[in-house]
Structures are given as C-alpha cells and as structure tokens.
Amino acid sequence: MADISQQLQEQVLQARSGGEKLNIIGGGTKAFIGREPSRDASDLNVGGHTGIVDYHPVELVMTVRAGTPLREIEAVLAEQGQALHFEPPHFGPESTIGGTLACNLSGPSRPWAGSVRDQVLGIRLLNGKGEHLRFGGEVMKNVAGYDVSRLQAGALGTLGVITEISLKVMPHPAASLTLVQDMAMDEVLHYMNSRAAEPKPITAACWVDGKVYLRLSGAKSAVEATAEKWSGDVMNDGQAFWRSVQDMQHEFFAGKDAPLWRFSVGSTADNPVLEGDWFIDWAGSQRWFRGAGELSDMETQARAAGGQVSLFRGGDRTGEVMHSQPNALKTIQQRVKSSFDPDGLFNPGRLYSWM
C-alpha cells in the first residue's frame, strides 16, 4: 500500500522536458492488448501505486489507487458481502483495476450488471502536462463537467495515467446457479435473447462447443423458481465454469499466439460467416472467433452485424488491431488526445498507429 503519485508526476514532467515517450504499465498482465508497445518509450510503472483510499460499504462506493490488484480489491469487498459486479478478467494475480479500466474489460455479467466503464464514478488522472486532475466524484449521480472518467475506458492509457478510481460496488448475489443444455449455434442467438427479454434474474448467457449456459443470480427463491421453469440441467460446477470464462482460461482461449478476434456486435445479428471456431458470450453481444483473416475483411463482417471488431490477442500486432475509425471521428479523437497529451507522451501507437 503506497502512494507514489508524486513520483509518477515527476516522471511524467521529466519525460516531457526530455522529449521522451512513456509506456504505462500496471501489473503487466495485459501487454498483449492493443498494438505492440513502442520500443522507443520508457516504462512508467503504476503497479507500485496501490491501496484502498476509501471504502464505505453502505455507500456502495470504493476509491482505490490504480495499481491495486483486482484480487486485493475483491478480497476486501468479499469481507462485506460485496463484489465488482462487472466481473473483471484476471489475466494473472497482478492484474490491476487501472489496467482493467484502460482496456474496458468486463466479464460474463456485463450485459446485466454493466461494464467497468458503467461502474466508474470518478478518477484522478495525470495528463501529458503532468497535471494531476480530479474528475467525477464518489457519488452515483454527478453531471458536473464532462465525463472524463468514463472517457478513459478503452483509451488504453493514451490520454493519461489513471492514478485513482472511484467505483460503484454491489452486494454479492445471495444465490446463483447455472443451466446448461445442448443447442446448435444457429438457434442459440434467438434462444439467449428470448430468455434475456424475460423479467427473470439472468446474469450470464454464453454458448460454446454446442452447449448454451445460462446463469441465474439473486434472491434464492427467485433463482430456484426460474430454474424450475426454464429448460436445461443444473450444472454442478457452474461457478468454476464462469470463472474460466471471466479469466479467459476456458480451453477455447488456449494458445496465445493464434489470432483471437473479438466481435462486439448487435446481440441478435446473424453470425459472421467465417471459417473457424466461435465462443458467443453476453447473450450474443460479444463473440470470440478463432481463425485467420485480415482486419479489413473482419470489419466488413462486424459492420454488417451492427458493431465492431478487434484483434484481441495473437496474430500480427505491428499493424492496426482495432476497428478503423471514420475520418470525422478520427480527427475528433486526435484532437481529444492532444487536449490531454499535447506532446504525445503516453502509449504512442498503442491504440492506433495514428494516435
């Protein structure tokens, strides 16, 4: 537990005056995300900036330094019967909350519980001028000023160094169970979305290897009554299954070098016609694909399904790995980047080659 924000600020100011670039690193478990880190940049280690700054269980709010490992946060929450409802993936024991927000990573509960972006209430940020700024706050409702906190989600650290995060936390559900049954891929999108349209306590829905998995969580009576009504067998080790989905330890994700594509699309959109294996999560909104292909071809497929695609892991990471941006949005994002980081200090080329 240490506050090294002053040291971080000095490093940023030094880099700025020395014309250096910085690669921001937390626990170092997500180096595979985004384009290959710049070799001309020095490391800025946020991993030492740790500790829970403030936690009031009754407020459902926790404020934590960005380098704090997820497992530490979750252990403290668990003592109070609370949890991070967005189920962030742990890519190792060192995975931090700061990296989770920068990469906007959320687990199987995301369509129902919201994402890490949804739960962020405020941040402190070191911008490229070395200014340590505070945005948002520690309350659920706050519309003073632009939402700079949520803007960071998915920016891969290109706008600044997130040093502190205030998050909404939620009670751990009283009961949970998982229903599993065989189903063909061409039936599953309709099935999962129909279930999601019912007012029942569904909190996860995925399909892999010819089986559909639905999780129910909440009040015990509600979970049990719904399980009675819905088809499927109750899974013995449901919790372990979802943990493997959350942390991407499921065997579908094995093999770190083969390309793993992530389609973020309309939940009911027809599946792209591609040769390879699929893992459908988030009731159809997040679809993982294993197979070779060009980003531009994948983009055509993703657009047809109402969304976007990225090369999440593996494959060639020297080219673009994120869905391309139309010109008007590219210009706006470059200007936003400059407004935070006028000298282009942070994570050069990590998100897009042009940023």
Query: Restricting to residues 89-108, which ones interact with other proteins according to CB under 8 A?
Result: 104
CA distance 9 to 128: 10
Whether 308 and 264 have beta carbons less than 8 Å apart is answered as yes
Is residue 249 a contact point for other proteins (CB under 8 A)? no
Rg (CA), the chain: 21
Question: Of 60 and 274, which has the nearer Cβ to other proteins?
Answer: 60
Q: How many residues bind other proteins (CB under 8 A)?
A: 90
CA distance 277 to 52: 41
Residues 6+ apart with CB under 8 A from 348: 21, 38, 40, 41, 355
For residue 90, give both structure tokens: 């742990």
- The distance of closest approach from Cβ of residue 42 to other proteins in the complex, given in angstroms and rounded to an integer, is 23
Site for other proteins (CB under 8 A): which residue of 38, 142, 244, 249? 142
Among 309, 240, 249, 264, CA closest to 90: 249
Question: Of 57 and 344, which has the nearer Cβ to other proteins?
Answer: 57
- The distance of closest approach from Cβ of residue 262 to other proteins in the complex, given in angstroms and rounded to an integer, is 10
Site for other proteins (CB under 8 A): which residue of 60, 177, 183, 274? 60
Is residue 263 a contact point for other proteins (CB under 8 A)? yes
CA distance 21 to 136: 28
CA distance 167 to 289: 31
- The distance of closest approach from Cβ of residue 186 to other proteins in the complex, given in angstroms and rounded to an integer, is 15
Q: Which range binds other proteins by CB under 8 A, 89-97, 153-161, 204-212, 237-245?
A: 153-161
Per-residue contact string for residues 282-321; x = within reach of other proteins by CB under 8 A: x--xx------------------xxxx-x-----------
For residue 143, give both structure tokens: 């519309």
Question: Of 69 and 117, which has the nearer Cβ to other proteins?
Answer: 117
Site for other proteins (CB under 8 A): which residue of 2, 78, 140, 240? 140
Site for other proteins (CB under 8 A): which residue of 51, 92, 93, 171? 171
Question: Of 28 and 218, which has the nearer Cβ to other proteins?
Answer: 218
Is residue 138 a contact point for other proteins (CB under 8 A)? yes
DSSP string of 19-82, one letter each residue: T-EEEEESSSS-TTSSSPPPTTEEEEE-TT-B-EEEEEGGGTEEEEETT-BHHHHHHHHHHTTE
- The distance of closest approach from Cβ of residue 259 to other proteins in the complex, given in angstroms and rounded to an integer, is 16
Is residue 41 a contact point for other proteins (CB under 8 A)? no
Per-residue contact string for residues 200-239; x = within reach of other proteins by CB under 8 A: xx----------------xxxxx-xxx-------------
Q: What is the DSSP letter of 271?
A: P
Is residue 47 a contact point for other proteins (CB under 8 A)? no
3-state secondary structure 285-329: CEEEEECCCCHHHHHHHHHHCCCEEEEEECCCCCCCCECCCCHHH
